Chain A
């Protein structure tokens, strides 16, 4: 089995893997980082979004072997102990989640939106940028609010 080495949430990890292992499988099954979820099989729902070398990607549509050598960040790395990342805090403050299943992907996507689009996000931009993230609970209303607020909070 081929070997893979990467940095996940700041820690080097390595393993021999079945080549068909997807990044999301590796995170969930090998590393037991189960915060990254699988909600579809057509790369549409975004529950599996993580950051690879600083950019949001769908970890269900990337072989872990392709991610060899990469720096991967998952939802588990955002908070520092009990101290939440401003985007996490904004999701809680604005009731941007209900069942919580899409939430890790939403938050990782939101942080990436801020990286690309800045801290002052209007509603239209946020809604368009969420094209690759599905939520069945919230009707997106509070997710949009949360991202706008989280983006602002990230500036300070």
Chain B
């Protein structure tokens, strides 16, 4: 390991601009002649738009354009699509309803764009929007996914009877049912996985610009995957041919999934820019983000786990209703299916699993991937069942887990996944030591003496990251491949630019990717630039989500570096007048084996370009190589999170007394950055468990529509975390890496809820476990106790 190579906690290269206020986020960019867009959004969850009168708005000062869904249709701008085809168990394809960027005819959720005003300033655009007269016929709506399929509920889209998008299943129904019938004990749970708002701190923003001279568009956009945005906007929305659309994702202030998707606003900014002949900028207000950004989670599940007399899990059966919202967002269909059902085996050797998922439309904001996407929901089901099962069977939760851990790899689960490597016992053991599990009883007694309740919760999770290979995901319905690209450009002076299809919006790629190059080429990381987020610079890429940038993105860089090294050796062989096979490259130096003849990296780089030592017939000049890397499998990070809580029974307030996380991410490039990812993930998971939850009322009005009503985790809600790692190398990629970005969010909710239910002695509480909810659960439990 070098000071800046693999495994070093290198301080981040990107930090200087962020800590000095010099970051360039989309809203920081101003284009000449820029105008400002404001969207008028439906205040109703479901309403027929009888008419829209925009004349008064158009006459307002500073107004450049007022556009509606009818204008969009007239210009033949295509709708938004969901890019993953799921088939129902009867073989029928999912029921994808048309999704115009601006509602035309019917508005289907509170927040559905109804018109856009483009004006000289945002204030003027907002002033004008109030002059638009929309005649709505308010229609009955449904917001609760559990009710969406009921007979008396209105049908939202013509294509989807009973609001059902698909009825998907996975696993062996018969064998699972049989195993449950024969079980010694069956643990049953009803679980609501609460709906969340991603709330990256940078609100979404877009600037559309049209160059009439070149008939080309540029979109500056808060996106995690600029190339996918370009592809969809070109191929499906039909805004411009792909080669006439440039998408730039500048500094992006967090994503957590919510900036993967192709949204109405960016499409409209591009379209309006052409109509208006001026750049059009839109920046979401925070409260607007609550009704414009895809939400996450929102599952209603009934699950059963069967055990034999020894506490061995014999079967798992899961039935889930997944809320997709009013329209199918870009990857919405895959989240409650292939990112969920396939993870239901957890860390356990479960012979029979059967999972059914009904995806439903409701009159709510579309739901799509949010940090973890499907895997937190799966982990919550499995880890709650195991914990409750342990309590019901009277077995220590750690012991029950040990009995059921998968110990031989590779392991084929009954739900598609083939786990490649892992050591679940190791992470559990290490975590229990760090958490002083032995001292728990004493700590519980101390809390009791102080009038408090103390609880301890486990979550031994698994996740699947770096969704791949492309051929396999294609067979499961994915509309895209899930490889990654890289291009390594060596300059004549020896400095290096790496163009990557991954995108960094907080993950620190400018540092970790440079560490890899530094290690491989033996050059200082200061001589390496990582270039990403611009479709004019990077040829193509799949972007960053699903904890894929290390395992997939960096593997592509490795592949390109292999090619660069091979070519450089050829150059060196001419420079050093030796046979290519005799050239050894080590620590940034090319040496002729068995001699003291050598050339520095910079010399070879220069000679690659001046080409004085070889002819064109012998070798092509230059030193630049590209690679596309398609993995052979997912990676399977896993670990153990332990949460200890103390509850004030008088108020229901929950304090996290201790948090221990021991994760196995395979080979770690930068431990400082990886730990940071774990911290952030835990905070979001704790947020889901304790604080965050979207509330819609029965009419589909969003009740938790701003930070005043939606609780974001604050510094004083969280403890200092104890974070450790264990390592089993991932055999599937050249660096042995697994993903680390989502682990905390996947593991944490179950750990928190297992701790709370341990403390209060009742399983009867849903997330978020707010003080009010905890107090009510305690009161209910006491009442039931007294009655019994």
Contacts and interface: CB of A to CB of B under 8 A. Distances in A.
Interface of A: 18, 20, 28, 32-42, 44-45, 47, 74-76, 78-79, 84, 88, 91-93, 95, 97-104, 107, 123, 126-128, 130-131, 133-144
A132 to B, nearest CB: 9
Contact of A107 (B19, B256, B285): B19
A131 B744 CA distance: 23
Interface in B683-700: 683-684
Contact of A41 (B19, B201, B287): B287
Given A138-B680, A139-B679, 6 more contacts: A78-B20, A88-B19, A92-B15, A102-B201, A139-B718, A140-B713
Identify which of A36, A40, A134 gathers the most chain B CB atoms within 10 Å of its CB.
A40
B201 A134 contact: yes
B21 A36 contact: yes
B310 interface: no
A44 B714 CA distance: 10
A36 B27 CA distance: 11
B110 to A, nearest CB: 17
Interface string B109-145: 0000000000001010000000000000000000000
Given A136-B201, A141-B679, A99 B506 contact: yes
B203 interface: yes
B781 interface: no
A133 B707 CA distance: 12
B708 interface: yes
Interface in B458-473: none
B650 to A, nearest CB: 21
Nearest to B24: A34
Contacts of B17: 100
A100 B506 contact: yes
A64 to B, nearest CB: 14
18 contacts: A18-B121, A28-B28, A42-B708, A78-B20, A79-B20, A93-B11, A95-B673, A95-B676, A98-B254, A98-B676, A100-B19, A103-B18, A128-B715, A134-B201, A136-B256, A136-B712, A137-B676, A140-B679
Given A98-B507, A127-B715, A130-B716, A76 B201 contact: no
B14 A100 contact: yes
Interface-centre pick from A34, A98, A144 (highest chain B CB count, 10 A): A98
Contacts of A36: 21
Nearest to A93: B11
B253 A100 contact: yes
A35 B21 contact: yes
Nearest to A18: B123
B682 interface: yes
B20 A138 contact: no
A41 B283 CA distance: 12
A104 B721 contact: no
B508 interface: yes
Contacts, number: 181
A33 B254 contact: no
B683 A45 contact: no
B286 interface: yes
B632 interface: no
A38 B289 CA distance: 13
* Best-surrounded residue of A123, A136, A141 (most CB of chain B within 10 A): A136
Given A42-B707, A76-B20, A127-B716, A101 B202 contact: yes
Indicate the member of B16, B23, B681, B706 with the most A CB atoms within 10 Å: B23
B251 interface: yes
Interface in B472-518: 505-508
Contact of B12 (A20, A47, A95): A95
B176 interface: no
A69 to B, nearest CB: 24
Nearest to B505: A99
Contact of A97 (B19, B121, B287, B721): B19
B18 A97 contact: yes
A136 B199 contact: yes
Contacts of B599: none
Contacts of B718: 127, 139-141
Contacts of A35: 20-23
A20 B121 CA distance: 12
Q: Which 7 A-B pairs have the closest CB atoms?
A: A35-B21, A100-B18, A101-B253, A99-B506, A139-B683, A139-B679, A75-B21
B533 to A, nearest CB: 13
Interface centre among B14, B20, B254 (most CB of A within 10 A): B20
A47 B679 contact: no
A37 B28 CA distance: 9
Contacts of B11: 92-93, 95
B501 to A, nearest CB: 19
Contacts of A128: 715-716
Nearest to A100: B18
Nearest to B683: A139
A123 to B, nearest CB: 7
A37 B716 contact: no
B286 A39 contact: yes
A68 B574 CA distance: 70
A126 B718 CA distance: 12
Given A88-B19, A99-B506, A138 B676 contact: yes
A103 B202 CA distance: 11
A134 B287 contact: no
B546 to A, nearest CB: 17
Nearest to A144: B715
A136 to B, nearest CB: 5
A18 B122 CA distance: 12
Contact of B715 (A34, A78, A126): A126
A139 B706 contact: no
B92 interface: no
Interface centre among B19, B202, B680, B721, by most chain A C-beta atoms within 10 angstroms, is B19
Nearest to A130: B715
